[in-house]
Every structure is written in C-alpha cells, then in structure tokens.
Structure 1
C-alpha cells in the first residue's frame, strides 16, 4: 500500500502559458493527447521569454455540475509558469491560477501509476473543481524515482 506525503501550503498566484483542450479522461488516456501537448510545449519552451521554471503544469478544470464521469469532457491546460503575459505565441493560451491555500500531495513513482494516487485523493478529499499537477522533469515520468506534485485547492 502506498503512503503519501501531504502538506498544506500557501500558493502564490501562477501565470501560465501553454495549450488548452477540452476532452474526457477516456479520450485523453486513449489518445495520449496531454502527453503529446506536454512534449510539444517542452520543444517550444524557448519561445516563452518570460518563463521562470523548467517544469510544466497540468491544470484539470472539472465541470461544476458535479456529474463527472470518465466520458465527461473537461478542460486540460498544459503550461509553463511565466512572470508576465507578454509575447505569447498566437497558438497558445493563458491561464491564471489564483493564490490561496492548497493541499499538496506527492505522487512518487511512474506517471502510469498516478491513478492510484487519484483514487486516494478521491476517497480522501472527494469531488473538487480543479486539480493541478506539476511535472518538474517530463523526461523522467516513467521512472520509479519520478515525482509529481499534485495541488488541490481548499
């Protein structure tokens, strides 16, 4: 059985620039579109002049009606953190993650096993409007020593 490191943190506002899609979890898993967008964004990192971290964020914004299923489309934002929204490539979007208190849960192990961590989060914290993942190194996500930070607001 996995154990999880859980912390309460005060998160500053994050300005993010990248790609946004609206897809169901089943379609994301089948098409691997989030992974494709993550790799495309990493290849274009030098186009973001105000980028201030190497890591990439995934913001998952769920429908507010509470009727989520694996087939329900929701918004996925794959993005780098920036200092300012200036000189944004035309095919990219911006997103601002508000400051506030977040629960931080660390997934350790391959990304392919992150479903176990989300099962724990769902059983412990229940439904929520948004999940944030931070991938410090996208090229190590399939390794046993991989680490993904997950932030849950509230």
Structure 2
C-alpha cells in the first residue's frame, strides 16, 4: 500500500486576478506545441515583469466557450498593477469567480482526463460548469511537461 496522498478536490471563490503575459491563438491541435514555447518565452523574460505577485506561480487562462475576442490561451504571471508591461506582452483581468479546484501532479498530457474527473465531481456535487467564464491553470512547476504541478480551476456555480 502506498503512502501517497490523493489531492483534494474542492470549490473556492478566487479574487480578481490581473495577468501579464502572452496570448496564443492557433488551431486546436497546435496548442500542445505552442503553449510550451510561450511558457519558455515568458520564463526567460521573467526579469522584465514588474509588480509580480507570485513569481513562482505561472498562470494559464482560457474559456471553453470563448467569443472570437476571447479565443486563445493566455500564459502569464499575476501582477498587482498593469504599469510597465513588457513590450509585446498582453494583459488580462480574470474577474472573481467560483471554481472547482484540483491539484494535478504528473504529465501535462494527462490534464484532459483530469478535467473529466473534475467535471464529473462538480456535477455529482450540485455545481454547474460555467464554460463562458475563464478557466485557470495555476502552475507551481511547469518546466518539465512530464512532471507539472498545477491547480486546475474550472469555473462553476451552484
């Protein structure tokens, strides 16, 4: 029997978050290639970010049912102010929202099945997914795609 603990799944309301980073827009089958490129880019430029809240937490943001203006995947860091945004980077405000939260530790390629688990848990526990709201992936470890540590935050309401 293993002593490995199973991560807890829970709901939590997260405050508004200001993000500075890059926006990726591409065909769905290209995100697996483009996201790691963007991660590497902003990691190498971390010294250019001002007003960082937690430089050890990288954030990915997307909407499942995005409008054309919101389509894509944002990779960035939380900041307290949009002053002094690095050249060719973008800003995004994720408003306060309730989420189902689950810590995924392991391969980035296994995140999609983990989302299936989150969706089933949310439904079983009386929460309704909000695919028109921002989903967040808050990474504590992102440099090795075979061993990421990420809080998956799926927007829900009662």
Q: In which range does the TM-score fall when normalised by the shorter chain?
A: 0.7 to 0.9
**1:63-119 superposed Cα distances (whole Å, 9 cap, x missing partner):** 358xxxxxxx93110010001001001200000111132211221222122122123
The residue aligned with 2:146 is 142
Alignment CA distance shift 1:4-1:128 (3 Å): farther
1:119 matched to 2:121? The reply is no
| Cα distance in 2 for residues equivalent to 1:24 and 1:74 | 11
Shift of 1:24: 3.3
Q: Which residue matches 2:99? A: 102
Q: Which moved more, 1:126-135 or 1:44-53?
A: 126-135
Aligned to 1:55: 57
C-alpha spacing 1:24/1:5, structure 2 compared with 1 (3 Å): farther
Query: Normalising by the residue count of structure 2, what TM-score does the alignment of the two structures yield?
Result: 0.78
Match of 2:42, SS state, is helix
Residue ranges of structure 2 left out of the alignment (5+ in a row): 1-5, 123-128
Unmatched 5+ residue regions in structure 1? 66-72
* Equivalent residues of 1:58, 1:76 under 8 A apart: yes
Q: Secondary structure at the match of 1:106?
A: strand
> Which stretch shifts more, 75-84 or 3-12?
3-12
CA RMSD of aligned residues (A): 2.2
| Match 2:137 to one of 133, 140, 151 | 133
- Hey, what's the Cα distance between the residues in 2 that align with 1:55 and 1:141? 15
Distance in 2, matches of 1:152 and 1:114, equals 12
| Corresponding residue for residue 10 of structure 2 | 7
SS at match of 2:72: strand
Is 1:77 paired with 2:80? no
- Number of aligned residue pairs: give it: 141
Instruction: Determine which structure has greater relative contact order: mean sequence separation of CA pairs < 8 Å that are 6+ residues apart, divided by chain length.
Output: 1
Are the equivalent residues in 2 in contact too, given 1:62–1:75 (CA < 8 A)? no
